[in-house]
Every structure is written in structure tokens, then in C-alpha cells.
Amino acid sequence: MLRSWSLNLTITHTSGLAVYLQIAQQIIDEIQRGRLAPSTAMPGTRDLSEKLKVNRKTVVLAYDELIAQGWLTTQSRRGTFVSADLPNFTALESASQVNDKIASSSEDTTGTQTLYQTSSASTIDFNDGIPDTRLIPCDTLSRAFRHILLGPKKANKLGYGDPRGSIALRQAIATMLNMERGLNVDENKVCTTRGSQMGIFLAARVLTKHDDYVVVEDLSYPPAREAFQSCGAKILTVGQDKYGIDVVALEKLCRKFPIKAIYVTPHHQFPTTVIMTAERRLKLLMLAKQYDFTIVEDDYDHEFHFSHRPVFPLASTNHGDRVIYVGSLSKVLAPGLRVGYLVASKAFIDQCAHEVMLIDRQGNSITELVVAELMISGEIKRHIRRTFKIYNERRNVLMNLVNSQLSDFVNFDEPSGGLAFWLRLNHGLNINEIEKNALNKNVRILPGTLFSASSQEVHAIRLGFGSLDVKELSLGIRKLRDAFCEKG
């Protein structure tokens, strides 16, 4: 096996410690520092002995010692590797640093970084609810890219274009929203973005000025809060319950502060998965009209609703341009394609286009044309139908696993949709210890505290299932149960 990088170790002949033990100890130190991650290929004994200028038997002795202690493993005809059963020490250190930072400041970006940190291949990552990129119809996607790349050369479609996005994609999005979500918009009220986060940021840029008041739910999406904060907004928070946002508390804030905007996720509240009731939706719209603020509605996973037909968005009502609607095709296809959209009045979209000109000039025209072709041909709709069945199966499997294996430790309300569960911990459990125990078993979970605007400890876990197949879900829950049991 080819090892791309050499391992730099130092031998001190005057230390009094046997050379093979020096080699072994330095390799252990490198593993604990996180430089040598689990499953990393080690240099061959001949190569390492030549580099260190020691006898090959000395290196063999060092490796044998490390294998005996469980730090290294050997694979027939492949070589020697750092044991895959070891915890990811880099991840453990990062988790510790994150907890310290969250405790010291509610305005840093630690929560965002932890929310999306990359896990090793051996880690079962119960993330915040991302889709499974293994389900992408790659053949269909590659054909569409080929068609777009070869087709429009003479038409010069791959040059500079509209900062709002290609008209083909904006028309396709408008048609989809009108037909399936009850909106009444055309392409002039749509701005395509690089994912929903860019849409939220554009909304924040256009809506808010320094010291404007923006309301979010106490448990909410950290990058959205930070987008408004980066534009100088002052963040106010309200609570939520099983019916959605606390509109009574919101009205009290409106009487006290000149609210400029509120950010909500009414379809599947992030992170708790609660659906905002019709009564709360109507009250929220009435408050927006009465106190003259704008609602930023993030409908981040509208397609994945399993119990009944998805509820129409707030943006489908006669809201008088008081709702800015943000959505994404990233979860339908793949986050890496970065296709989202923002829907608002034409005047607001024109302002968004100006902001796009300042930061990005325009989106990726090739990807936009590809996605437009897939929407018009019906391929995206067919893909949604296929993945819907798979995600529904995974949801049911996870629900059964949690009920059968974690019922002594957590309780939850069955989510009607979305790609994640919100598990509330039973009294007396320490979420930090459980998170650490889980990491030691190569399982990553997201403590509820990460989503709290006030950084108060939240005894809950958001458990994403979309990116894990049935086998991975079963193994992950079994290891998570072991992590809970270690508490006692």
C-alpha cells in the first residue's frame, strides 16, 4: 500500500530508554494528539527503519508492542494500521473545547462549527438531519451535466448571467411552489442561492440594519441567528412548546421593542421537529401586520413529511409581502450541489440581486441549468418519491430502535416529518458525559444545548437519521445505549 506521507520521529540515544520503546511511545503520543487517526496506514518496518537509521528488528519490536497494547493492528497483505477501534482523539478534544466555549459565550460561532464538523469514516454520525448522498441518481445527474455542458456553447449560456439566477431555474422553482405549496409567484419573485443559508443571509442583509431587533425561538438554527447578528441585529428570543412558537410571549416583546423581523421554521421546527398549529400561524401573521415586522420562513425540508400531506407554508397566505420564504433543493439532491432559493416581493428580490453582485456576482450557472432540466423533466419529482420511501423506512426503524433500546433513558414525540428526532433525556442524566461516552464508541450526537440561543443547558438530543442506512442505525443505537449505560 502506498503511504503518501512520511512519519517523523526522533530517536535520542542518550535517553536511557530502549530505542524500540522510544518509537512506540512517540507513536502513541501522535495517536493521542490526533495526528494519527484511527485506520491510518503506518509506514512499513523497512521504510521506517531506514528513515530512523535503526535496525529493522527494532521497529518490528516497537510495532509488536503497540499491537499487543491495542494501538495498532495488522491486515494480511495490506500492512499495519492505527486501530480502527480507537476513539477519534481530535474529535474528543474538539468536543471539549466546544463545551468550554459555549459555556463562556453565547455569541461565538462554536455551535455552527460543531454542528457541521466532519466525522471520520468509522464514526456513526447522528447529524442534524442531512440527506444520504449515496441515494443520488448519479447516472441521471451526469447525463444532465453532459447535456448542459455540450448543448449551450453556441448559445453562450455559460457566461455571466442574472444575479438572481438562471431564468429557467427560477421559472421551474416558481411553478413547483405554485403547484405544490400554494404560493402565487413568478420568476421575478424568486432569487436562487447557494443553499438556504445564503438565502437567510441575504434576507438578513436586506432586512436589518445595525441595532435592529430580530426575534428567534430560543431553540433554533444557530447559523440563522448568526446571519442576523453578523448584520448588526440584536437577537431577542421566545420560547416554544408542542404547538410551536409562544405567540403570547412574542406579543409581549412586540409591545416592548420595535421588532424588525422574526425567523421561524413552522413546518418542522428546528431542532424540535414540532409543527406550528394553524392557530399559532394565524396569530403570527396577525402580529406581523399589527406590529409591522417581517417573517423569515425557513422551509428547509418541506418534501419529507410522512404522516399526512405537508402543511402549506405561511408564504402561501395573503400576507401582504410580510413573509420572506427560504427553501432548498440541497436536501432533495445533495448538499454539495448548493441550490436554494428565496421568495419575496420583486422589490425585495431586486435588493437581494444587488447583494449577490457584491459577494458572488451570480450562482453556478451550469448547476442551475442542470437542476432546471431535472425539474422540468420530472426527474427530481421521481427522485423525491424514491427517497421518500427509503427515509420513511429509516424513520420507522429508528423509532422502533429508540423505543426498544433507549426507553429507559429518553422520551420523544413521534415526528410527523423531517429527517431527525428530538429526544428528551430523563431526569438525572448528564448530557456531556453521554456525548463523551458516545464519542469514545465512535458515535457522534448533537446535544440540545448547541441549538439554544441563550446557551442554557438543554437536556435533549437531535438525532438525524437520513444519512444512515438501517444497518448503521441499528449499530449506532446499540452503541448509544452502551454510552447511556456507562453513566450508571
pLDDT for the residue numbered 115: 64
What mean pLDDT is predicted for residues 464-472? Answer: 93
Which residues lie closer than 8 Å to 93 by C-beta, 6 or more apart? 34
* Strand-pair category, 410-411 with 323-328: unpaired
Residue 232: the pLDDT is 94
Q: What is the pLDDT of residue 107?
A: 47
For position 90, what pLDDT does the model report?
60
Contact 391, 378 (CB under 8 A): no
Please check the confidence at residue 116 and state whether its pLDDT lies above 80. no
Tens-digit pLDDT profile for residues 434-452: 999 999 999 999 999 999 9
pTM above 0.85, yes or no: no
Q: Output the CA torsion 459→462→463→465 (10° steps).
A: 170
Kindly tell me if the per-residue pLDDT of 92 is higher than 60: no
Q: What does the pLDDT average to over 39-53?
A: 88
Q: How confident is the model at residue 148 (pLDDT cuts 50, 70, 90)?
A: confident
Q: What is the pLDDT of residue 2?
A: 46
Nearest in space to 262 (alpha carbons), one of 226, 231, 237: 237
Mean pLDDT of 259-276: 94
Mean of pLDDT values over 189-201: 92
Q: What is the pLDDT of residue 178?
A: 92
Mean pLDDT of 6-11: 77
Average pLDDT, the chain: 86
pLDDT per residue as tens digits for the range 201-254: 999 999 999 999 999 999 999 999 999 999 999 999 999 999 999 999 999 999
User: Which grid cell is 427?
Assistant: 431526569
DSSP 254-320: HHHS-EEEEEE--SS-TTT-PPPPHHHHHHHHHHHHHHT-EEEEE-TTTT-B-SSSPPPPGGGS--T
